[in-house]
Amino acid sequence: MPAFVDIHDVTHVYAGAEDGAPAVQDLNIKVMEGEFAAVVGPSGCGKSTLMKLATGLQFPAKGTVIVDGREVGAPVKIAGMAFQNPTMLPWRTTLQNLLLPLEVVQPHRSRLRSNRAEYVAKAEALLEQVGLKGQGSKYPWQLSGGMQQRASLCRALIHEPKLLMLDEPFGALDAFTREELWCVIRDLHAAQRFTVVLVTHDLREAVFLADRIFCMSSRPGRIIAEREVDLPRPRDLEVTYTQPFMDIVHELRAHIAHARVAA
Amino acid sequence: MSRRRRDRSLALAPWLFTIGFFLLWEIGCRAFKISSYVLPPPSAILEALWQYRTQIGYHSFHTLWMTLAGFGLAVGFGLLLGMALGASRFVNAGTYPLLVGFNAVPKVAVVPILVIWFGVGWQAPVLTAFMISFFPIVVNVATGLATIEPEAEDVLRALGASKRDIIVKVGIPRSMPYFFGSLKVAITLAYVGSVIGEYNASNVGVGNLMARASADFNVPLLFAALIALAVLGVVMYAITVIVERRMTGWAQRSNFAAA
Ligand SMILES: Nc1ncnc2c1ncn2[C@@H]1O[C@H](COP(=O)(O)OP(=O)(O)OP(=O)(O)O)[C@@H](O)[C@H]1O
Ligand SMILES: [Mg+2]
């Protein structure tokens, strides 16, 4: 079976990079359809760059990026994205923020006006799934950081993307909220089986959520280790206190430490 | 002090200080026996205001029109140019030196040219008001458009949004607080412009009234006209502030980073 996201021998240099040094070099990543992949690595190693390459926001200087069987030559249109910063638009209510992707992506774009009630119901159902029932009429700035992050997840999912790209979405949250959201995203993934690429600094988060973890070296980023996580699903938060879980975390930690020393 | 009482004293403070200011002025004029030809006391100004009320009313109304016409032009032109500047780095880079150069020219210096072109009439005040007030609007609108958070843009671009989509859905709404914020500055400047234009190249308007009063050494009338200008200016400023609050309340309540 061909990979859903296939980044092959990619080297990327930003147009604005002063030294002309690549942000990532000879990067290779394969993620299967429906798989939950996590990417960990030291700061500045090119994780966000990887996300931009996979979604067609940047194009590689060398190598190929294939998503869903097609080489990426323009923004992919099938991806939902969420970042560390929730980036909700403050002049729209939470519900209106959720509907924003539908105003852009076809076929929803042309259907939205005539089928608004149906879409609103869908958005409200999503809000309920992430624990924001009835909060749709509030403005984002009336919500806490954790609530905004939940809403941002909903916005990434509203158009039922086949690919969900998460760039440190839980980075700014407290430990409890973070673990709660782990479970939210775990359940959403279990129910809908989209493909996920999650960038994170938190090794426990990666091991808890992912089927496959990629470790990157420091800049220019390459993959220095790939680890399959075979912990059985569904996983409960309790699993994070078991020995096999901690073994994997330790193993990853060693890779990262190695990558940082090598820098 | 209880909260209620503090709120009430805060509401009273502007009146207290304004009345105090004029009282001091009156007392000062009387105590030092200052001649009405140098600095008339408020009572004399009030008297002049009453005496010339029809004249002042007529000319103020004219000035108001000139200001609003120039301001309206500035809003339309400023919005368009600001959007072009904010949407295109090319236009931005290209017009930047021109704009800065234009803004650096004192607009009083342009009035003689306007007089040559259009003669004495409404054109000079309106155009002076326009020229002096569009710059802050352009800069603010362009800033609002050009400072879209890259992540908000990425979210939309990854969905296949066109540049136009991004400007319509994110750029324009987010530049509105900048735009309405700039109106406060622009209306004040437009007012300055129209009065300068009237002073130099018009037969009507408060500016012209002052030019004639000055030639006649009618100092109380000069001051009465000044007071009329101040009142009119405050009213126009207050209206733009109210409009700003109405239109972009979300920006104030969300601590949005606009001017
Ligand atoms: N727009 C850009 N222009 C030039 N260089 C860039 C640009 N964006 C990122 N870089 C550079 O590319 C490298 C990788 O950046 P990237 O944002 O992908 O890192 P990251 O792994 O996501 O870091 P972090 O964990 O801190 O988010 C960095 O050294 C950065 O300086
Ligand atoms: Mg990053």
CATH value at residue B121: 1.10.3720.10
**A88-146 pLDDT, tens digit each:** 999 999 999 999 999 998 888 888 888 899 999 999 999 998 888 989 999 999 999 88
Residue A84 covered by a domain: no
Ligand 1 atom 31 nearest Cα: A44
Nearest CA in chain A to B162: A104
Question: Which of A18, A45, A223 to mutate for ligand 1's pocket (most ligand atoms within 8 Å of CB)?
Answer: A45
Domain closes at, from A160, A180, A209? A160
Residue B64 in contact with partner chain A when CB distance is under 8 A: no
Judging contacts by C-beta atoms under 8 Å, the chain B residues touching residue A140 are: 254
The yes/no answer to whether this complex scores an ipTM above 0.85 is no
Q: Could B250 and A91 be called an inter-chain contact, meaning their C-beta atoms sit closer than 8 Å?
A: yes
Q: What is the DSSP letter of A217?
A: P
Q: Say which residues have a Cβ less than 8 Å from residue B136's Cβ, sequence separation at least 6.
A: B78, B182, B185, B186, B189
Please, is A177 exposed, middle or buried when counting C-beta atoms within 10 Å of its C-beta (0-12, 13-18, 19+)?
A: middle
Rounded Cα gap, residues A51 and A5, in angstroms: 11
* The residue to which tokens 């001051």 are assigned: B223
B14 and B141 belong to one structural domain: no
For ligand 1, mutation pick of A39, A49, A214 (most atoms within 8 Å of CB): A49
Answer whether residue B258 is part of any domain.
no
Cβ–Cβ pairs < 8 A, chains A and B: 77
- B1 lies in which domain range? 1-34
Distance CA B245, CA B177 (A): 9
Nearest CA-CA distance, residue A241 and chain B, Å: 35
Of residues A27, A57, A86, A61, the one with CA closest to residue A214: A27
Whether residue B152 and residue A159 make contact (CB cut-off 8 A), yes or no, is no
Q: Whose CA is nearest to atom 14 of ligand 1?
A: A46
Name the closest ligand to CA A18: 1
A26/A133 same-domain check: no
Protein residues placing their CB within 5 Å of the ion ligand 2? A 48
Which residues does ligand 1 sit against, CB inside 6 Å? A 14, 16-17, 23, 43-49, 219
- Ligand 1: which atom is nearest the Cα of residue A46? 18
Q: Which chain A residue is nearest to residue B150, measuring alpha carbons?
A: A87
Same-domain pairing of A195 and A256: yes
Which of B151, B160, B169 is the closest to A105 by Cβ? Answer: B160
Among the partner residues A85, A90, A104, nearest to B161 by beta-carbon distance = A104
Q: Kindly give the pairing relationship between strand A36-40 and strand A212-216.
A: parallel
Query: A53 C-alpha to center of ligand 2: Å?
Result: 13
User: Touching check for A145 and chain B: CB below 8 Å?
Assistant: no
Number of domains in chain A: 2
CA of residue A231 relative to chain centroid, distance:
20
**Would you call A52 an interface residue with chain B, using a CB distance cutoff of 8 Å?**
yes
Q: Quick check: is A134 in a domain?
A: yes
Q: In this structure, are A105 and A62 located in the same domain?
A: no
Average pLDDT over residues B158-168: 88
Domain that holds residue A133: 90-160
pLDDT given at position B1: 55
pLDDT at B182 over 90: yes
Number of domains in chain B: 2
Tens digit of pLDDT for each residue in B183-230?
Answer: 999 999 999 999 999 999 899 999 999 999 999 999 999 999 999 999
8 A C-beta contact, residue A235 and residue A59: no
B136 in the same domain as B12: no
In a domain, A62, yes or no: yes
Asked whether the beta carbons of residue A100 and residue B156 sit closer than 8 angstroms, the reply is: yes
CA distance B54 to A1: 89
In a domain, A83, yes or no: no
Distance A125 CA to ligand 1 centre (A): 36
- The span from the CA of A237 to the CA of A207, in Å, is 11
pLDDT tens string A166-195: 999 988 888 888 898 899 999 999 998 999
Atom of ligand 1 nearest to the CA of A219: 29
pLDDT of the residue at B257: 56
- Which 3 state secondary structure label does DSSP give A127? helix
Pairwise CB contact (< 8 Å): A57 & B173: no
CA of A48 to the centre of ligand 1 (A): 7
Is-contact A111 A195, C-beta < 8 A? no
pLDDT (tens digit, 9 = 90+) per residue, B63-87?
999 999 999 999 999 999 999 998 8
- My answer on whether B123 and B173 are in the same domain is yes
Q: Encoding tokens for residue B87?
A: 């949407």
Q: What is the pTM of this model?
A: 0.81
Return the CATH number at A57. 3.40.50.300
* pLDDT at residue A130, rounded to an integer: 86
Judged by a CB distance cut-off of 8 A, whether residue A100 touches chain B is yes
Are residues B158 and A55, on separate chains, in Cβ contact within 8 Å?
yes
Ligand nearest to the Cα of A201, by number: 1
Pair (A117, A170) in one structural domain: no
Residues B29, B57, single domain; the answer is no
User: In the structure, what pLDDT confidence band is assigned to residue A75 with cuts at 50, 70 and 90?
Assistant: confident
Question: Is residue B195 domain-shared with residue B164, that is, in the same domain?
Answer: yes
pLDDT for A44? 87
Q: Which pLDDT belongs to residue A74?
A: 85
Nearest chain A residue to B154, by CA: A57
Q: Quickly state the pLDDT bin for B259 (edges 50, 70, 90).
A: very low
Q: What phi, psi does A80 have (nearest 5°)?
A: -110, 140
- Please tell me the residue having the least CA distance from ligand 1 atom 26: A43
Confidence of residue A85 (pLDDT cuts 50, 70, 90): confident
